[in-house]
Amino acid sequence: MDFLSGLNPEQHAAVTLPKQSALILAGAGSGKTRVLTTRIAWLISTGQVSPHGILAVTFTNKAAKEMLLRLSTMLPINIRGLWMGTFHGLCNRMLRAHHREAMLPQTFQILDSADQLAALKRLMKVLNVDDEKYPPREIQNFISNSKEQGLRAHEVETFDPYTRRKVEIFAAYDEQCQREGIVDFSELLLRCYELLARNQLLREHYQARFHHILVDEFQDTNRLQYQWLKLLTGQHNALFAVGDDDQSIYAFRGANVGNMQELTRDFHVQNVIKLEQNYRSHANILDAANALIKNNRSRLGKNLWTSENKGEPLRVYEAPTDAEEARFIVDEVRQLNREGIHLAEMAVLYRSNAQSRVIEHALVSAGVAYRVYGGLRFFERQEIKHALAYLRLVQNFDDDNTLLRIINFPTRGIGARTIEQLQETARTQNVSLWQAAKQTGGKVTTFVTLIEMMASATKELPLPEAIDHILLHSRLLVHYQNETGIKQREAQERLENLNELINAATLFVHENEDDSLTSFLTHAALESGESQAEANVDALHLMTVHSSKGLEFHTVFIGGLEEGLFPHHNSRMADTGVDEERRLMYVAITRARRRLYLTFAQSRMLHGQVNYNLMSNFLRELPEELLHWITPRITARNSFSSSAYSSAHPPSINMEGLGRGKGIGAQNAPWHISQAVHHAKFGEGVIVNIEGGDSDLRVQVNFRTTGTKWLALEYAKLTPL
């Protein structure tokens, strides 16, 4: 078994564990994917289980494909019998196999987030719901969050009329989806969980089949996903979970880091194996990450280390303004690029998307190529969604949401009034819009005939040819070809995307045994949430820290390290909010292999206003011996550039000679706006305004914990930091 060579002792112990449930604490850059794939290869090659008896759960289709590729190089056998994929993908596979027991049509379709929202808006209009009082997106989140907790509408507790109305919409939405034969992403998992929970024979069948269940990124599982795994894991199965509680950063999506500790109790895990050797970063970067994360509570605990050398210290830069911060980053990027580091090997990370504007402006001004990672995905583009809607409708005539999307696109003279009449007929007769449309004459009948003809013509065609036929006869291609003027270039890009859809179908047929249109549509829905990066272009990466998870770069810039920004001010509202923000910072630090920059600004324009914030406490938690301050740590705060102020926000007084009143605490301190100070009662803060003369000088200070206060300098007893 050559694939065992090169494993370190902890990796080897994890890979060769006897059949038992286990938790593998895999630190950043510790080779968790290698451990997972090698574990599967070892189980199969030693004859302990066939590929048929393994269930492997990942969080992205990309990760599943990478693991299958690695396995194919390790094992000289067919591994197609192995069930590997995302929670949603595996649940879809199970529901397709048992659609009758799940009370679903065989060709049920999957709503992505945008289509789910459109379906809700349509329903709320029928129910005459005030969308200002009950915003559709809020209702969408309410339904998804309820389902992810394993709750149906009748199980949600209600304490007031507002919540009761939301529950009524939830119930009506479920009825609409059932009638139309469609499911949303949350429904996939909940429906599959309910199927296994109520059907003992089916549950025992899968428990007997899957001897080994392996889960990647276990720290990102939510409550329902964990319950689903528990149903599949019987007395004679082994659950092998790999994760890192220090990288749990998706609580806003429902991830429950507590699942890791519950796992050790529920499955009587005797030995937690820690993968602490990092193969990515220099020691200084890891030491900084360790020093930061140790401040979190309720950790399972581990300490990253490397056999690499110490490397460079972390570079810290304090800018007078966010614009100066951006210019510094761009200058450093250009210099590093001249020294031979590719732009694609560098990334700028930020906590909030709003921070990217000033960075992008600086990059454009300097002529530096960049890419905002996590932009609009291929399957989410307008023209692709239109094409997929035609494909979905020829598969399932009763999908009302899909019919509404394309009944008048491209324009065929079917107006809003006609569509309202269709909806009224469907409602009064309790039928689908398609059935109502078949009773209507004129241009609606022409549309019905078109869809029926396309369904008949494509029934026996290979998938790529079927898509080509529909693109042509739906007149989508003609619609974009006829665009002129300023829209012509945009239309050309849309045409190229439609052609790419055929390429995607061709590749899908090549890679999958089931090459049906239903399977391709399922593939498109499941892939719609994953990023599509452009290839063969050397460009700097810009992204949020959340988007950076799983990536690594030679050089990383982490910008905006200020209180209220990173950590985000919303974190103060939850008991564990700052802990999650610290985990987010931990993720950001561990993206860097060789060089790491930490930057912040004395003033920042956010939402149209200049803000003055304290330096992030996360910077204070890093050991000084690991840091190299590019701007001197003290003089940077005591010399403030006038460029920090816009004409709309001038300082109240001349800043020269301030701070020589009585009782100030440090007699010769040069008090000025943006200065970090300490007060005996209110703690740390930053001066945001100064006004008055020699005898009545006062300052306005934004304190970290107590908010903004005006203080008379004569009695304030402020100490500069």
What is the rounded distance in angstroms from the CA atom of residue 671 to the CA atom of residue 688?
Answer: 11
The pLDDT assigned to 54 comes to: 93
* The pLDDT of residue 40 is above 90: yes
Stretch 215-239: mean pLDDT: 92
Of the residues 247, 321, 402, 522, only one is catalytic, namely: 247
- Which residue in 19, 79, 16 sits closest to 52, CA to CA? 79
* The pLDDT of residue 207 is above 80: yes
Q: Looking at per-residue confidence, does 277 or 706 come out higher?
A: 277
Does residue 216 have an active-site annotation? yes
Q: Looking at per-residue confidence, does 67 or 380 come out higher?
A: 67
Q: At what angle do helices 259-266 and 223-232 cross, to 10 degrees?
A: 20
Q: Are 103 and 176 in contact (CB under 8 A)?
A: no
Domain-by-domain residue ranges, the chain? 2-98+190-275, 109-180, 287-375+535-633, 378-418+443-527, 651-720
Q: Which amino acid is at 5?
A: S
Q: Are 378 and 497 in contact (CB under 8 A)?
A: yes
Stretch among 120-134, 157-171, 218-232, 646-660 having the lowest mean pLDDT: 646-660
* The pLDDT of residue 267 is above 50: yes
What is the rounded distance in angstroms from the CA atom of residue 79 to the CA atom of residue 134?
Answer: 49
* The pLDDT of residue 215 is above 60: yes
* The pLDDT of residue 530 is above 70: no
Q: Are 215 and 229 in contact (CB under 8 A)?
A: yes
DSSP conformation letters of 144-180: HHHHHTT--GGGS---SHHHHHHHHHHHHHHHHHHHH
Q: Tokens standing for 227?
A: 């319950």
Q: Which residue has the tokens 């719609």?
A: 528
What is the rounded distance in angstroms from the CA atom of residue 374 to the CA atom of residue 718?
Answer: 45
The pLDDT assigned to 508 comes to: 82
Stretch among 272-286, 324-338, 535-549, 683-697 having the lowest mean pLDDT: 683-697
Q: Cα 410–413–418 angle (5° rounding)? A: 115
At residue 528 the predicted structure's pLDDT band, cuts being 50, 70 and 90, is low
Q: Are 57 and 88 in contact (CB under 8 A)?
A: no
Of the residues 10, 180, 216, 527, only one is catalytic, namely: 216
Phi, psi of 591 (to 5 degrees): -80, -20
Q: Which residues contact 233 (CB under 8 A, 6 or more apart)?
A: 21, 207, 213, 239, 267
The pTM assigned to this predicted structure is 0.73
* The pLDDT of residue 673 is above 80: no
What is the rounded distance in angstroms from the CA atom of residue 563 to the CA atom of residue 679?
Answer: 17
The pLDDT assigned to 670 comes to: 60
Stretch 234-242: mean pLDDT: 90
Q: Is it true that domain 287-375+535-633 has CATH number 3.40.50.300?
A: yes
How many residues are given for the chain?
721
What is the rounded distance in angstroms from the CA atom of residue 192 to the CA atom of residue 379?
Answer: 25
Does residue 445 have an active-site annotation? no
The pLDDT assigned to 659 comes to: 33
For 2-98+190-275, which CATH superfamily applies? P-loop containing nucleotide triphosphate hydrolases (3.40.50.300)
Stretch among 125-139, 432-446, 567-581 having the lowest mean pLDDT: 567-581
Of the residues 16, 33, 435, 532, only one is catalytic, namely: 33
Q: What is the pLDDT of residues 370-402, one digit of tens each?
A: 888 865 456 777 888 999 999 999 999 999 999
Handedness of CA 139, 140, 141, 146 (dihedral sign): positive
CATH of 378-418+443-527, one of 3.40.50.720, 1.10.3720.10, 1.20.1250.20, 1.10.486.10: 1.10.486.10
Check for a shared fold between 2-98+190-275 and 651-720: no
Torsion of CA 163, 167, 172, 175, to 10 degrees: 170
Give the CB-side neighbour count of residue 249, counting CA atoms within 13 A.
Answer: 20
The pLDDT assigned to 489 comes to: 53
* The pLDDT of residue 469 is above 90: yes
Q: What is the pLDDT of residues 491-503, one digit of tens each?
A: 776 887 788 788 7
Question: How would you list the strands of the sheet with 683-691, edge to edge?
Answer: 707-712, 698-703, 683-691, 676-679, 719-720
Stretch 689-705: mean pLDDT: 75
Question: How would you list the strands of the sheet with 238-243, edge to edge?
Answer: 83-86, 54-58, 212-215, 238-243, 22-26, 272-275
Does residue 380 have an active-site annotation? no
What is the rounded distance in angstroms from the CA atom of residue 386 to the CA atom of residue 589?
Answer: 41
Does residue 591 have an active-site annotation? yes
Q: Looking at per-residue confidence, does 425 or 531 come out higher?
A: 425
Of the residues 10, 11, 32, 581, only one is catalytic, namely: 32
Share of the chain above pLDDT 70, in %: 89
At residue 693 the predicted structure's pLDDT band, cuts being 50, 70 and 90, is low
- CATH no. of 651-720: 2.40.10
* The pLDDT of residue 541 is above 80: yes
What is the rounded distance in angstroms from the CA atom of residue 544 to the CA atom of residue 412?
Answer: 42
Q: Looking at per-residue confidence, does 5 or 707 come out higher?
A: 5
The pLDDT assigned to 687 comes to: 83
Q: Are 524 and 328 in contact (CB under 8 A)?
A: no
CATH second-level architecture of 109-180?
A: Orthogonal Bundle (1.10)
Q: Tokens standing for 141?
A: 């989140």
User: What's the chain's average pLDDT?
Assistant: 85
Dihedral-angle region of residue 708 (phi above 0 means left; psi in -120 to 50 means alpha; beta otherwise): beta
Residues pairing with 705 in the sheet: none
End-to-end CA distance of the chain: 60
Q: Are 243 and 30 in contact (CB under 8 A)?
A: no
* The pLDDT of residue 631 is above 90: no
Does residue 405 have an active-site annotation? no
Stretch 236-247: mean pLDDT: 92
Stretch among 27-41, 144-158, 498-512 having the lowest mean pLDDT: 498-512
* The pLDDT of residue 647 is above 60: no
Q: Which residues contact 288 (CB under 8 A, 6 or more apart)?
A: 314, 589, 596, 622, 623, 626
Share of the chain above pLDDT 90, in %: 55
The pLDDT assigned to 359 comes to: 87
Q: Tokens standing for 248?
A: 């749990």
Of the residues 591, 604, 637, 698, only one is catalytic, namely: 591
The pLDDT assigned to 39 comes to: 95
Q: Which amino acid is at 665?
A: G
* The pLDDT of residue 672 is above 80: no
| DSSP structural state of residue 616 | P
* DSSP H or E stretch at residue 680: none
Q: Looking at per-residue confidence, does 180 or 356 come out higher?
A: 180
Stretch among 80-94, 345-359, 563-577, 661-675 having the lowest mean pLDDT: 661-675
- Which residue in 503, 410, 415 sits closest to 463, CA to CA? 503
Stretch 142-166: mean pLDDT: 92
C-alpha separations of 497 from 371, 385, 500 in Å: 19, 11, 5
Stretch 405-411: mean pLDDT: 91
What is the rounded distance in angstroms from the CA atom of residue 327 to the CA atom of residue 573?
Answer: 33
3-state secondary structure of 268: coil
Which class for 340: exposed (0-12), middle (13-18), buried (19 or more C-beta within 10 A)? exposed
| DSSP structural state of residue 81 | T
* The pLDDT of residue 607 is above 60: no
Of the residues 174, 180, 217, 527, only one is catalytic, namely: 217
At residue 483 the predicted structure's pLDDT band, cuts being 50, 70 and 90, is low
